[in-house]
Amino acid sequence: MDKFLIEGPCKIRGEVLVSGSKNASLPILASTLLFDQPVIIQNLPKVKDIDTMLNLLKSLGSNIVLSKDKKTAKITNKKNMKTFASYSLVKTMRGSILVLGPLVAKYHKSKTSLPGGCLIGARPVNYHLAALKKLGMNYQIKDGYILAKSKGKLKGTIINFPNISVGATENSIIAACLAKGKTILRNCAIEPEIKDLTKFLNSAGAKIKWSGRTCEITGVNYLNQTKYSVMADRIEAGTFCIAATLTKGHLEIKNLDPRVINTELKLLKKAGAKIKTNIDKILIQGPKKIKSIGNIKTKEWPGISTDMQAQLMVLMCKASGKSSITENIFENRFMHVAELQRLGAKIIINNNKALIQGNTNFIGAELMSSDLRASVALVLAALVSDGRSYINRIYHLDRGYEKIENKLKKIGVSIKRLK
């Protein structure tokens, strides 16, 4: 199993090119199951979760041709596609549940394994199932599989989500594209990645309109051939912004629309970072002394992203004074805290709230990753630690960050991948 060796402290300088968004690519790739015509998806990130999704599509019968750099995929579906998404492919990735909606919408049946992924909370699939049932899918759960079918086409309906759910919103939008008539989804998640999915589907002739948290989909009979470039990864961009702020660094972050991390940039300005933005880049300079941001609360978009919580916690450990972080999205997302404490962090957990004492001097240590965002928080902490840190189980990082050690090396970080 690979691990990272990081020699701290580091000062970051230079430029970073942001990769395509993992969280936008996954639903877009799942939705290609709706097509009879070839589809070209560009700007895919080279991360493990994308490999898993492409392998899942291949197992269902999609023919996939990757470009030399593996960032563009041409996907052509067979006439007779399979509808069985096996546990062996689904177990490592939460996003694989997104094939359920398109399989039932297009082929009127599916046997999909209940998904796996990071152990950051319950994340039940009941919202997905309840919404798809309203569209006309019947299902039972047997031996860890969702056995689903519909009598012919799904039928448009009104769905009110009891809670905001990114995955359930995506699955329902994809399924409703080929449903008969009109579907209205209320209390939707409106993350930029979901808007990217609907832009992709509309580019192929889908009829999707947004108004606030309401999404209206008028079903069509088929989708047309299309070519689409996935948006940039806002979580990767935000992570590098925090790295620059932490290390008194000076960084140019290119290839993304800064508006997608506006909320986080405001927080970093509050912490003392100097930030300039234009259409597709961010210039950020870290302060000499990091100020406390006070009370941070994660919330659905356009609030502070739960995927940025662990990284912000590292920043607050180095800030002056006390601060707190309240995690409102996942109930099990403080697994990085014990590892940060090994480096010297003073953090007390009280239910879903972390109380952080600032001005921490991190001392390098051997660390263990528990999930994707926790792993990158440990990398950030190692950048500002005195001495060597070893970060184990970095396969979590490989699921969502494209060659992060190469990007960090280029901007002045002493990092090695050890086999």
Residue in the block written with tokens 């942001």: 18
Cα three-residue angle 254-306-199, rounded to 5 degrees? 55
Strand partners, 183: 217
* Assigned token pair, 307: 């995927």
Residues labelled catalytic: 118
Contact 31, 95 (CB under 8 A): no
Q: Which two tokens stand for residue 138?
A: 């019947």
**Cα–Cα distance measured from residue 154 to residue 181, given in angstroms and rounded to the nearest whole number:** 9
> For 11, left (φ over 0), alpha (ψ -120 to 50), or beta?
beta
Q: Cα–Cα distance between 389 and 134 in angstroms, integer?
A: 51
Cis before 27 (ω within 30): no
Quick one: which H or E segment has residue 296?
A: strand 295-297
Structural contact between residues 21 and 417, judged by C-beta atoms closer than 8 angstroms: no
